[in-house]
A and B are shown apart, each in its own frame.
Chain A
Amino acid sequence: MPIPSVHEKSVRLTIPPAGTASGRPIARRKGGLRRHPAWLPYALVSPLGVFVILLTLVPAAFTLGESFFRVDLFDPPIRFVAFGNFVDLFRSSAMRTSFANTAVYVLIGVTLSTVLGFIMAVTLQRRFVGRSLLIALMIIPWALPGVAEGIMWLGIWGSDTGLLNSALTSLHLIDHYQVWLGTNPLLTIFVIELVQVWEMTPLSALLILATLQNIPGEVYEAAAIDGASPLRTLRHITLPLALPGVTLAMVQALVGAINIFDEPYVLNGSASTGASAVMQTYFVSFQDLNFGEGYALSLMITVVTILASLVILRFIYRPVEY
């Protein structure tokens, strides 16, 4: 079997020629991966592959199949209902509201975290004193559990004793405490999603920063010689060349926003003003014990996530070669 040159190169670069590294001949076994080095990558990824197959693909296949059955623990037996579960989901006004809410979460979350992440990445692109420390600190929100963040932000958004109300009142910007959550659906979603944006943006920034680090300095030097202004350089060099990282950041933000659960649940309870589609999955599956509808809803969320990711890939991603 012909071996692609890139593999040969990679192997030569990473594995010293056998028998020479220590200066002593090494006893070799013939066969196996040495005789078939093309299998090496597959061997290396196989543990992860098994993990993904067992914990993702098998449950996904199971979910796909079960979503066409009525699996209601209080209404046995399990029976085939074709698209019955999906029809029931769309008939539910709570479900339709949660779909609309989730769409708004996605819109706000993906837009804000990508824009802010890009700004942060560009800021961090050049070396300055304390840059490494700043990057380390940036990771903290991303590393915190969603429930902990929700509780922390409740202290900020709180209507009776919240920090924001206290600050705005002290600055005489408002004359009485405001209720930020629960009254206006759009404001509620915006306020909740800000918490998730705060959590997701550092990762977006790091993903974009990783791409920016790959841009050769010569490109910027050439732009400077040609007299390009910083804004023009940002628009015509940095942004286009950062698109692979921006795409990745948008997809991770999309997945995060579609799967939002902890923040609305902690900040706004199960109220319809902030309920997301994944929250509905929890209610249907674990409160009502109607697993059939839960499977159907999960499948829909998965399909929407994949489709939306493909849309981002199609319209945002551009391959970059130096």
Chain B
Amino acid sequence: MRASSRLFRSIALVLGAAAVTTELSGCSGGSQSPAHEKIRGETITVVMPAPPPPKKLLDRFTAQTGVTVKWNNVDFDSITTKVAAGGAARTYFGDVTYFNFLNGPQYAKLKWFLPLDTLLDPGVTKDTLGKSAFTYDKKLYGVPWDASVGVTTLNKSMFAKAGITSLPTTMDDYTADLVKIKRAGIVKYPLSMPFSAAEGLTVYWIQTTVAFGGASIFDKHGKEQFSSPSSPGYKAAQWMISALKTGLVSPGAVNDGDSQAQGLQAQGLSASSLVDYAGNVSSLYDDPKQSKVVGQVVYLPVPGAHGPVRSINLSDGIGVPAFAKHPAAAAKFVSWLIDGKNQIKFGGAGASDEVWSAQYLPSNYPALTTLNAKGKVGDGAVLLNILKNHSQPYFPYGTPEWYPAFSHAVQTSLHAAATGTMTVPDAIKAMAAAATH
């Protein structure tokens, strides 16, 4: 009964929320093309884990297209539930929604989202970074609206205080530097790591696997590549647990998710995070309201076994659910959201009432370079180089459709190893079993 109730409740909630959400803009006018005439007067429901873009810009979108946007700010987990409930029940819950690329293969295989190739105007995604993560069977099901990759961040002041003059490029150097910072007493726990059993832990392990020389944790046939003790995935798990056991990471990290781990660095309680999110220097570490280390944290290409390695792509996407009522209007909104000119405004290069706090980094590369040139991207030069030249898909051979179940096994097993209720070999065994199953 609970699953069904949850399903019914989810649908009812979405519909209820859509009914009461404030209408963000009203008037229409502007465009004259036949496509625009078709969608004129339509109202689309957008379900995103973020506050809405500035009203001024949304009003302009309505004026140009005649499409009114109703915005629902819903958390990540609830959106996943709504997508599953809506897809399984073949029911409408929104016209545009957050698209988690890790669930993408599920969504694509079950046809819960519409391919965007034919919906979007040609060339709209030409300059969009990270598209490959949203492409399944050669069709584009989602588009990144925010660029992000796994990247190392470190507090250069703390490193300098410990007498470290050059930034680490290998894992051995990086580990030795952290030990040096701890021994110098600069900070008790120099490394931030989210050991709570949540998605952030899987992301951390996969990027650390890349750091130890693994291109992917699965081969092109989907076979796991981490159960051998000499494999990068195995070494990554060992390194992570060892960092916790040797006091480089706080014992309390077993309760920390991404935001708590990043918060420790922002409060000056840790010196570095091997796997952080691109965009956090501007949006967190350099924000005086949230940070005590303004101007001290910089990006660093992720150190590897023999030198810097590629960063995994972690872009947030949007898509159009298969049961959207207004797919053409929805596609018009998607195009508008990823448009370079708008993303420049969202990023703070225009008027102050056009800034959209939910966009950490624009997914449009020219927009990103423009914002960087205007000094709107913290430590932008390093970041731009990583995004353009040193990033790779999360799974180079494609995300398996059973990824959510596998990720669940990774989270619970590594968390158990961190809390001491499981050994590292047993944790790896459980993760491998989930991958094989």
A-to-B contact residues, CB < 8 Å: 55-56, 59-60, 62-64, 73-74, 94, 154, 157-161, 177, 179, 181-183, 185, 259, 267-273, 278, 281-283, 285-289, 291, 294-295, 297-299, 301-302
Is B163 in the interface zone, CB < 8 Å from A? no
When the two chains form the complex, which single residue of B3, B80, B85, B416 contacts A271, counting CB atoms closer than 8 Å?
Answer: B416
A159 contacts B254, C-beta separation under 8 Å: yes
B106 contacts A289, C-beta separation under 8 Å: yes
Kindly list chain A residues whose C-beta atoms are within 8 Å of the C-beta of B1: 56, 59-60, 63-64, 298-299, 301-302
When the two chains form the complex, which single residue of B7, B8, B412 contacts A270, counting CB atoms closer than 8 Å?
Answer: B412
When the two chains form the complex, which single residue of B88, B257, B269, B402 contacts A269, counting CB atoms closer than 8 Å?
Answer: B257
A287 contacts B251, C-beta separation under 8 Å: no
> Residue on A with the closest CB to B106?
A289
A158 contacts B255, C-beta separation under 8 Å: yes
When the two chains form the complex, which single residue of A62, A64, A270, A298 contacts B2, counting CB atoms closer than 8 Å?
Answer: A298
B-to-A contact residues, CB < 8 Å: 1-8, 80-81, 84-85, 88, 106, 109-110, 196-198, 250-257, 260, 264, 267, 269, 401-402, 404-405, 408, 411-412, 415-416, 419-421
User: Roughly how many angstroms separate A294 CA and B85 CA in the complex, as a whole number?
Assistant: 13
How close is A269's CB to chain B, nearest CB, in angstroms? 4
Q: List 11 A-B contacts (CB under 8 A).
A: A159-B252, A160-B256, A161-B267, A182-B254, A267-B255, A271-B416, A282-B6, A282-B81, A288-B404, A298-B1, A298-B3
How close is A123's CB to chain B, nearest CB, in angstroms? 35
> Residue on B with the closest CB to A154?
B255
Q: Is the interface of B mostly helix, strand, loop or mixed?
A: helix
When the two chains form the complex, which single residue of A182, A287, A297, A302 contacts B404, counting CB atoms closer than 8 Å?
Answer: A287
Query: Given A177-B252, A181-B255, do A288 and B110 touch, yes or no (CB 8 Å)?
Result: no
> Residue on B with the closest CB to A283?
B408
User: Roughly how many angstroms separate A271 CA and B8 CA in the complex, as a whole number?
Assistant: 27
When the two chains form the complex, which single residue of B5, B8, B411, B420 contacts A183, counting CB atoms closer than 8 Å?
Answer: B420
A158 contacts B198, C-beta separation under 8 Å: no
User: Roughly how many angstroms separate A291 CA and B408 CA in the complex, as a whole number?
Assistant: 17
A270 contacts B198, C-beta separation under 8 Å: yes
Kindly list chain A residues whose C-beta atoms are within 8 Å of the C-beta of B198: 269-270
Query: Given A273-B419, A286-B84, A289-B106, do A159 and B2 touch, yes or no (CB 8 Å)?
Result: no
User: Roughly how many angstroms separate A272 CA and B8 CA in the complex, as a whole number?
Assistant: 28
User: Roughly how many angstroms separate A94 CA and B260 CA in the complex, as a whole number?
Assistant: 26
Query: Given A286-B80, A291-B88, do A158 and B106 touch, yes or no (CB 8 Å)?
Result: no
Kindly list chain A residues whose C-beta atoms are within 8 Å of the C-beta of B80: 286-287
B5 contacts A59, C-beta separation under 8 Å: yes
Kindly list chain A residues whose C-beta atoms are within 8 Å of the C-beta of B253: 159-160
User: Roughly how many angstroms separate A56 CA and B269 CA in the complex, as a whole number?
Assistant: 50
B405 contacts A63, C-beta separation under 8 Å: no
User: Roughly how many angstroms separate A283 CA and B264 CA in the complex, as a whole number?
Assistant: 29
How close is A104's CB to chain B, nearest CB, in angstroms? 16
B260 contacts A160, C-beta separation under 8 Å: yes
> Residue on A with the closest CB to B83?
A286
A271 contacts B412, C-beta separation under 8 Å: yes
Kindly list chain A residues whose C-beta atoms are within 8 Å of the C-beta of B411: 269-271
> Residue on B with the closest CB to A275?
B412
Kindly list chain B residues whose C-beta atoms are within 8 Å of the C-beta of A295: 3-4
Given A55-B5, A158-B252, A298-B5, 7 further pairs, Cβ under 8 A: A60-B4, A62-B4, A179-B251, A179-B252, A267-B255, A282-B81, A288-B402
How close is B183's CB to chain A, nearest CB, in angstroms? 19
User: Roughly how many angstroms separate A285 CA and B10 CA in the complex, as a whole number?
Assistant: 13
> Residue on A with the closest CB to B77?
A265
Kindly list chain B residues whose C-beta atoms are within 8 Å of the C-beta of A299: 1
How close is B179's CB to chain A, nearest CB, in angstroms? 20
Query: Given A73-B88, A179-B254, A286-B80, do A270 and B3 touch, yes or no (CB 8 Å)?
Result: no
How close is A271's CB to chain B, nearest CB, in angstroms? 4
Kindly list chain B residues whose C-beta atoms are within 8 Å of the C-beta of A159: 250-255
When the two chains form the complex, which single residue of B4, B197, B404 contacts A63, counting CB atoms closer than 8 Å?
Answer: B4
User: Roughly how many angstroms separate A158 CA and B4 CA in the complex, as a whole number?
Assistant: 35
How close is B267's CB to chain A, nearest CB, in angstroms? 8
> Residue on A with the closest CB to B257?
A269
Kindly list chain A residues whose C-beta atoms are within 8 Å of the C-beta of B269: 160-161
B197 contacts A270, C-beta separation under 8 Å: yes
Return the 5 tightest CB-CB contacts between A and B, nearest first: A159-B252, A269-B197, A59-B4, A298-B2, A271-B197
Kindly list chain A residues whose C-beta atoms are within 8 Å of the C-beta of B419: 182-183, 271, 273
How close is B84's CB to chain A, nearest CB, in angstroms? 5
Kindly list chain B residues whose C-beta atoms are within 8 Å of the C-beta of A289: 84, 88, 106, 110
User: Roughly how many angstroms separate A94 CA and B197 CA in the complex, as a whole number?
Assistant: 14
A59, A64, A281: most-surrounded residue (chain B CB, <10 A): A59
Query: Given A73-B88, A182-B419, A269-B415, do A285 and B109 touch, yes or no (CB 8 Å)?
Result: no
How close is A232's CB to chain B, nearest CB, in angstroms? 45
B415 contacts A182, C-beta separation under 8 Å: yes
> Residue on A with the closest CB to B87?
A73
Kindly list chain B residues whose C-beta atoms are within 8 Å of the C-beta of A270: 197-198, 408, 411-412
When the two chains form the complex, which single residue of B110, B255, B405, B420 contacts A268, counting CB atoms closer than 8 Å?
Answer: B255
How close is A78's CB to chain B, nearest CB, in angstroms? 12
Kindly list chain B residues whose C-beta atoms are within 8 Å of the C-beta of A160: 250, 252-253, 255-256, 260, 264, 269
A157, A282, A289: most-surrounded residue (chain B CB, <10 A): A289
A74 contacts B401, C-beta separation under 8 Å: yes
How close is A216's CB to chain B, nearest CB, in angstroms? 41
Kindly list chain B residues whose C-beta atoms are within 8 Å of the C-beta of A62: 4
Kindly list chain A residues whose C-beta atoms are within 8 Å of the C-beta of B416: 271-273
User: Roughly how many angstroms separate A269 CA and B202 CA in the complex, as a whole number?
Assistant: 13
How close is B291's CB to chain A, nearest CB, in angstroms? 15
How close is A41's CB to chain B, nearest CB, in angstroms? 27
User: Roughly how many angstroms separate A118 CA and B360 CA in the complex, as a whole number?
Assistant: 51
> Residue on B with the closest CB to A182?
B254
Kindly list chain B residues whose C-beta atoms are within 8 Å of the C-beta of A158: 252, 255, 260
When the two chains form the complex, which single residue of B3, B5, B267, B412 contacts A94, counting CB atoms closer than 8 Å?
Answer: B412
Query: Given A59-B5, A73-B88, A269-B196, do A287 and B255 touch, yes or no (CB 8 Å)?
Result: no
User: Roughly how many angstroms separate A56 CA and B408 CA in the complex, as a whole number?
Assistant: 30
User: Roughly how many angstroms separate A136 CA and B216 CA in the complex, as a whole number?
Assistant: 56
User: Roughly how many angstroms separate A302 CA and B412 CA in the complex, as a whole number?
Assistant: 26
Kindly list chain A residues whose C-beta atoms are within 8 Å of the C-beta of B85: 286
> Residue on A with the closest CB to B409?
A94
When the two chains form the complex, which single residue of A73, A268, A281 contacts B3, counting CB atoms closer than 8 Å?
Answer: A281
Kindly list chain B residues whose C-beta atoms are within 8 Å of the C-beta of A298: 1-5
B255 contacts A179, C-beta separation under 8 Å: yes
How close is A105's CB to chain B, nearest CB, in angstroms? 16
User: Roughly how many angstroms separate A158 CA and B267 CA in the complex, as a whole number?
Assistant: 15
